[in-house]
Amino acid sequence: MQKLETETIMENIDFNKIDEARKILGLGEKATLKEIKSAYREKAKKYHPDSAHDASKEECDDVMKKINDAHETLMDYCENYVYSFKKESVEKEKDAYERYMESFENDWLWGKGAKAGFKSAWGFSCLIEAKETILFDTGWDGDLLLYNMHKFGFNPGEIDKIVISHDHWDHAGGISRILNETKNPEVFVLKSFSEKLKKEIAKRAVLREVSGMEKISGGVFTTGELGTEIPEQSLFIETENGFVVLTGCAHPGIDNILNFIKNYGKIYRVIGGFHGFNNFEYLKGIPMLSPCHCTTHLNEIKKMYPKNYKECCAGDVFEI
């Protein structure tokens, strides 16, 4: 008798690998997709450079690699299998398997992490396709970023310029991998970046050190270095409706970033990390808001500005 597809799939599961991934994220055997995402986000926040004050950068990087690998293992298996089933219980769980897969497919298509077929991890990166093609930040994992580019059908060799908002691992970590796939692009970093990082970038690209506001390309501008504790640059793009602002983490404060940009024109849309910003009234009057990544109060912003809020996740495309 021919095996059912679900039986064949279940036989191919590496349960030891899945059990180890669950342990790393602190999950139980029956954890739901929502719980996987929540556990991953909490772990990622804990070992982010902003939070892990008692751990060295090297320790954070090592732990984050394990966390990211565990998350990717569970999410990859969840796309095809019900990882919480034990192999010996497949026979009596077939119906539950089919029901679970149906609900998972809906969550995958509409979840906050990534659009169908794309992958997400802790970090931020977006591609601007205008007169020139500009990559803003590279996320933590260059291989994952390349995977998503390929899902878009985009050739990384077409990148003309790269802008790194700040030198935290979840924004600059993928730069080395990406530069292997590009053709001597210009890379815009803050002058305050480490000399070692700038030297490595200069070996494979045209290094541009940024301090003040300047034009990157056409109607795309950088704010230059803002903030003191964690210096950061943001981008703002000129459109017929006003400026579209792109932030990495907004460490200097969304209000400070936008106040700077308002000197040059009105704000139409803000996309990116809002970090811990909680002066929600300040956002009133901005037509479109797409907070993501490290935004602590995303749900509050979404609730206060339901008509202005537009979800932002891996695989999204915004025409500006």
pLDDT at residue number 2 = 40
Tokens of 187: 């890379």
Give the pLDDT band of residue 52 (cuts 50, 70, 90): low
CA 113 to chain centre: 8
Task: Return the exposure string of 118-131: e unless at least 16 CB atoms fall within 10 Å of the residue's CB, then b.
Answer: bbbbbbbbbbbeee
**What pLDDT, on the 0 to 100 scale, is given for residue 156?**
92
Map out the domains of the chain with their CATH numbers. Answer: 5-110 (1.10.287), 126-304 (3.60.15.10)
Q: Is the pLDDT of residue 92 over 80?
A: no
**How many CB atoms within 10 Å of residue 98?**
11
Residue 289 clears pLDDT 60, i.e. is over it = yes
Closest to 123 in 3D by CA, of 132, 114, 115: 114
Q: Kindly indicate the confidence band of residue 66, based on its pLDDT and cuts at 50, 70 and 90.
A: confident
- What DSSP element (H or E) covers 24? helix 15-25
* Confidence at 76, pLDDT banded by 50, 70, 90: low
pLDDT of residue 202: 96
State yes or no: pLDDT of 201 exceeds 50.
yes
Of the two residues 35 and 264, the one the predictor is more confident about is 264
Q: Which of 252, 117, 111, 273 is nearest to 190 (CA)?
A: 252
Using a 10 angstrom Cβ sphere, with 0-12 exposed, 13-18 middle and 19 or more buried, the burial of residue 3 is exposed
Residue 280: pLDDT band (50, 70, 90) is very high
- The predicted model gives 182-193 an average pLDDT of 96
Residue 27, classified by CB atoms within 10 Å of its CB into exposed (0-12), middle (13-18) or buried (19+), is buried
pLDDT the model gives residue 50: 61
Dihedral angle sign, alpha carbons of residues 175, 78, 313, 20: negative
